Amino acid sequence: MAKSSVLGYPRIGAEREWKKALEAFWAGKLEETEFQSQLKAIRLNHLRKQLLKGIDIIPVNDFSYYDHVLDTAAMFGIVPNRFPYEGGAVPLSVYYGMARGTKEATASEMTKWFNTNYHYIVPELDGAKPTLTENKPLAAYREAKSELGIEGKPVILGPLTFLKLSKGYKASETDAWVDRLLPLYVQILRELADEGVQWVQIDEPILVTSINEDDLRRLNTIYGTIAAAVPQLNVMLQTYFESAESYRDLIALPVQGIGLDFVHGLSGNLEAIKQFGFPSGKVLGAGVIDGRGIWKASLREKLSLLETLTEYVGADRIVVQSSCSLLHVPVSTQYETKLAPELKNALAFADEKLDELVLLAKAFTSGESAISEELTNSENAVQALKQSDERNRTAVKNAVAAISAQQPLRSRPFSERQIAQQEKWQLPLFPTTTIGSFPQSAEVRKARQLWRKGEWNQEKYEGFIREQIDLWIKLQEEIGLDVLVHGEFERTDMVEFFGEKLAGFAFTQNGWVQSYGSRCVKPPIIYGDVAFENAMTVEETKYAQSKTKHPVKGMLTGPITIMNWSFVRDDIPREQIAYQLAYALRQEVEALESAGIGMIQVDEPAVREGLPLKAQDQAEYLAWAVKAFRMTTCTVEETTQIHTHMCYCEFHDMIDSIEEMDADVISIETSRSHGELIHSFELNTYKLGIGLGVYDIHSPRVPEVEEMTGMIDRALQVLDPKLFWINPDCGLKTRGTEETVASLRNMVEATRIARSKHA
C-alpha cells in the first residue's frame, strides 16, 4: 500500500501564533518557560493535524525557534566568538543574538535559501570546534511519540549542504570539516537508531546544484561512513527544488531511499529514471505535490505520473510526498472567505496539500475509482480558472507582445546621462539617501487598520499619511540627508501595495509565509493578466516633493521582485508574467516623471532569488529579467535618474547583469555580510552609480560612526568616488524612530568624515 509523507510543515501557525510568541518573548512580555510552553503547543498541534489528516510518515524536527540552518549550527555548538558562549546547549539569548544581533555584537549574515523567498542564518565556521550540544532530532522524535503516539521521521540538514551553506573556511579545508562534522552526525543517527527510529530524512538540496568530483567523493565518504556505522537505520536522502545532478552517483549511495522533486525537477528527474533506472533495493520519495506553489494539483495528471514511475520502481517502494517542505506556502485556505469562488476553488495551501497527498496515496493503491469525485472536482477547478476573463485580457497580451519585441534602451548612455543629471541636481560628493521606507509605528499601523475597517474615511486617512510625510521630510532635512523619500507610510508591503492597485492580482486574508525569523509576508496571487489601471504612487510622492527643495525619490517595486515575491500563475511562462508587470510599471514611471519627479527608484531585491539553480539555465533568466527592468525604465528623459536596490544576495557572479540593467544608481546590501560584497568590485569594474549599504537595518543596534567609516573607506578603494552613494542597506520600516534617527545621524557624520578625506 502506498504511503504519504511531507518533507516539513509551516512553523508559523494558522494565525501566526508562532510569530506572536517569538516577538512577545523578544519584547520581554513572555518568560522563557511560558515561551517554551507555547512553542511546544504549536509544534504538537502541527503534528496532530498531519496525523488526523492521514499522513502516514510525519516529519519531526522540522519545527524551529527561528531557522533550521541556525538550529544545526547551534546543535553543533558553532557560535561566533563575538557572542558569550562557553559550551553546552546554546542559550536562547545567544541563539537569538546570532540571528538578530545584540547591542554588543553584530548578527550573523542572512541570505536566501536556494531560489526561494526564505532566508537562513549563515553558519560561521571560523575558529569553531564543533561538538554535539544536544540531539535535537532525538528530542523531537521522543516528544512526538510520547505526546501523540507518532512514529515520526526525524529531519536533519545533511552535512554536505550544511558545509556548502556555511562560511569562514577555505575550500582546501572542506575535507577537514567533513572529518570534524561526520562523527557528530553519526552520533546523532546512532542515538536515533538506538531509540527505535525507522526512517530519517537527511536533506541534501545542494545536490540539485552544480557539484564537482570532490563533492561526489565527499558524498560517498559521508554516506558510506553513516551506512557502516548505523546499518540498521533507514536513510531517505532528500533533494528538492530541482532535478538531482549526478543522478547515477546519487542512486549508488548506500542509503535506503532517495527523495526527488517531480514538480520543479520533473523533466530532469524523470528523464534520469527512464535512462538509468532506479535501484531495486531502494525506496523512491516521489515529490509530486508542489511544496512551493499554491495551485490545486490536477490529481489525474499526478496519478498518471505515479503510474509512469511504476514502470521503473515497484509501486510498493514509492512514497507519495511533497516536492519540498510546505514551509513555503500558507497554512490553510479555510480562512479565505473573500476570494472569488473560481480562484479559491483552484487553491491548495499546506493543509489542502496534505489532503491531496492522502488522496493520491489512496488512488495509487486502490485505483482512480476510489477518488473519482475528487478527481472531477480538481479538473473542474483548474479549467474554470483557465477560462476566466482575468486570464484572457487580449489588449494586455497584444501590447506586451509589441513592446517585448523591441530592444529597451535609454535615450543616452550612462556616461552622458550622468553629466546631465549632475548639472541638474548639483549633488555633493557621496550623496546620502535612504532605501525608501521609514518606521511604521504602532500609530501608523493602527491608522491603516481603522481606515480598512471603515472607521476612518479616506480624507482622514490621507490627512494622517500627509502628517507622517511632513514629520519625516523635516527629520530628513534636520539629519542632513541629500536625497529624500516620502517614507511609504501608506504601504503595508512593497509588493502587496502595488498588487492591490493592478488588475490580475488577488489577496488573501491569512495567506502568510515565513520570510526570515518572525518576519512573515502575505504574498499576492498573480492569477490573471496584469494590467495598469490608475497611478499608484504619484499623489504621496508629489506631496512630499512640495514640502522640500531636496529631490524626493519616487519609490516603486520592480517587475521581477513583484513576480518572485508573489504566488504566480502556472499556466504561462514566468518571462511573460515579468513582461506584463514591466509594461504596467512603465506606465507608473511615466506618470511620476510627468508629475515632476526626477528621481525614481525601481527596487529589485529579489532578482537573485529567481536565479535558476542549474548553471545552464541562469543566463537565459538573467537576460529576460534585465530586459523586464529596462522595459520598465527605458522611456524616461536623460536627466531623470533611475535608482534600484538589491539586498541579501551574493552578486559576484552576476555583476555584469546588474550593470546591464543600466540603472543610474544601484544600492546593494553589504553590512550584514560584513563588507564581503566589496570583494566583488575588487575583481570587477563597475561603471555606474552605486551605494553600498553601510549599516544593517535588521538589527536593533545603532552602529558607531567608526564602523561605517571603515566600510566607506574600503569601498572607496575599489569604486569611483564620483559615483559613490551612502545609504543604509535596506528600508527602515521595521525599525524604531529613535534608533533610525540615531543611526542616520551617525551615517551622515561618517559621510562628512569621508568627504573631508576625499575632497
Residue 317 labeled ligand binder: no
Is 294 a residue whose pLDDT tops 70? yes
Is 524 a residue whose pLDDT tops 90? yes
Indicate the residue type of 540. E
The span from the CA of 336 to the CA of 654, in Å, is 39
The span from the CA of 340 to the CA of 507, in Å, is 10
The span from the CA of 322 to the CA of 357, in Å, is 8
Indicate the residue type of 85. Y
Is 675 a residue whose pLDDT tops 60? no
Inter-helix orientation angle 350-366/32-53, to 10° = 30
Is 674 a residue whose pLDDT tops 70? no
Higher per-residue confidence, 59 vs 682: 59
Residue 16 labeled ligand binder: yes
Listed range (350-359, 499-508, 730-739) with the worst mean pLDDT: 730-739
Residue 166 labeled ligand binder: no
Residues 338 and 446 grouped into a single domain: no
Residues 186 and 253 grouped into a single domain: yes
Question: Number of C-alpha atoms within 13 angstroms, CB side, residue 694?
Answer: 34
CB 698 within 8 A of CB 648: no
Mean per-residue pLDDT, 575-584: 98
Q: Cell for 301?
A: 495528471
Residues 558 and 703 grouped into a single domain: yes
pLDDT tens, 296-355?
999 999 999 999 999 999 999 999 999 999 999 999 999 999 999 999 999 999 999 999
Is 288 a residue whose pLDDT tops 90? yes
Output the pLDDT for position 651. 64
pLDDT tens, 540-563?
999 999 999 999 999 999 999 999
pLDDT band at residue 427, thresholds of 50, 70 and 90?
Answer: very high
Residue 22 lies in a domain: no
Is 520 a residue whose pLDDT tops 80? yes
Nearest to 22 by CA among 707, 357, 517: 517
Output the pLDDT for position 347. 97
The span from the CA of 619 to the CA of 615, in Å, is 8
Residues 464 and 595 grouped into a single domain: yes
Residues 354 and 398 grouped into a single domain: no
Query: Looking at residue 467, which CATH number applies to its domain?
Result: 3.20.20.210
Inter-helix orientation angle 458-479/538-546, to 10° = 50
Residues 380 and 398 grouped into a single domain: no
Is 717 a residue whose pLDDT tops 90? no
Residue 23 lies in a domain: no
**Quick check: helix, strand or coil at residue 601?**
strand
The span from the CA of 409 to the CA of 391, in Å, is 30
CB 222 within 8 A of CB 201: no
What are the CA-CA distances from residue 552 to residues 582, 596, 704 (Å)?
23, 10, 27
Chain center to CA of 726: 26
Greatest CA separation for the chain: 80
Q: Which residues are catalytic?
A: 698
Is 255 a residue whose pLDDT tops 60? yes
Residue 35 lies in a domain: no
Alpha helices by DSSP H, listed for 4-129, are 17-26, 32-53, 68-75, 92-100
Residue 634 labeled ligand binder: no
Output the pLDDT for position 652. 67
Grid-cell match 515520526, residue found: 152
Residue 758 labeled ligand binder: no
Beta strands in 550-593 (DSSP E): 553-557, 567-568
Output the pLDDT for position 460. 95
Is 669 a residue whose pLDDT tops 70? yes
Is 637 a residue whose pLDDT tops 90? yes
Nearest to 75 by CA among 173, 234, 187: 187
Output the pLDDT for position 684. 67
The span from the CA of 644 to the CA of 664, in Å, is 8
Grid-cell match 473560481, residue found: 342
Q: Cell for 317?
A: 517502494
Residue 32 labeled ligand binder: no
Residue 235, strand partner residues? 200
Chain center to CA of 449: 27
Residues 449 and 382 grouped into a single domain: no
Residue 41 lies in a domain: no
Output the pLDDT for position 282. 97
Residue 512 labeled ligand binder: no
Chain center to CA of 734: 17
Pairs from 476-482 (Cβ < 8 Å, separation ≥ 24): 476/434, 476/548, 476/550, 477/548, 477/550, 479/741, 479/744, 479/745, 479/748, 480/432, 480/745, 480/748, 481/432, 481/433, 481/434, 481/550, 481/744, 481/748, 482/427, 482/428, 482/431, 482/432, 482/433, 482/550
What's the whole-number average pLDDT of the chain? Answer: 94
Residues 374 and 398 grouped into a single domain: no
Alpha helices by DSSP H, listed for 480-535, are 496-499
The span from the CA of 409 to the CA of 411, in Å, is 6
Residues 382 and 423 grouped into a single domain: no
Grid-cell match 523512491, residue found: 284
- Domain interval for residue 166: 3-11+54-386
Residues 532 and 594 grouped into a single domain: yes
Is 241 a residue whose pLDDT tops 70? yes
Residues 284 and 425 grouped into a single domain: no
Residue 547 labeled ligand binder: no
Length of the chain: 759
Residue 42 lies in a domain: no
Residue 386 labeled ligand binder: no
Sheet holding 525-532, edge to edge: 502-506, 525-532, 567-568
C-alpha dihedral (350, 353, 358, 364), degrees to nearest 10: -150
Query: Which residues, including other chains, have CB under 8 Å from residue 84's CB and lie 6 or more apart?
Result: 94
pLDDT band at residue 498, thresholds of 50, 70 and 90?
Answer: very high
Residue 638 labeled ligand binder: no
Mean per-residue pLDDT, 737-750: 94
DSSP class of residue 642 equals E
The predicted model scores a pTM of: 0.89
Mean per-residue pLDDT, 721-741: 91
Residue 315 lies in a domain: yes
Is 665 a residue whose pLDDT tops 90? yes
Output the pLDDT for position 678. 67
Output the pLDDT for position 605. 87
Residue 510 labeled ligand binder: no
Residue 626 lies in a domain: yes
**Quick check: helix, strand or coil at residue 162?**
helix
Nearest to 597 by CA among 644, 637, 646: 637
Which string of DSSP letters, residue by residue, matches 531-558?
EE-S-SSHHHHHHHHHT-SS-BEEEEE-
Output the pLDDT for position 714. 86
Residue 311 labeled ligand binder: no
Output the pLDDT for position 182. 98
How many domains, the chain?
2
Residue 478 labeled ligand binder: no
Output the pLDDT for position 5. 98
Q: Cell for 644?
A: 534600484
The span from the CA of 638 to the CA of 627, in Å, is 19
Residues 122 and 266 grouped into a single domain: yes
Output the pLDDT for position 679. 67
Listed range (240-244, 282-286, 386-390, 552-556) with the worst mean pLDDT: 386-390
Residue 367 lies in a domain: yes
CB 110 within 8 A of CB 200: no
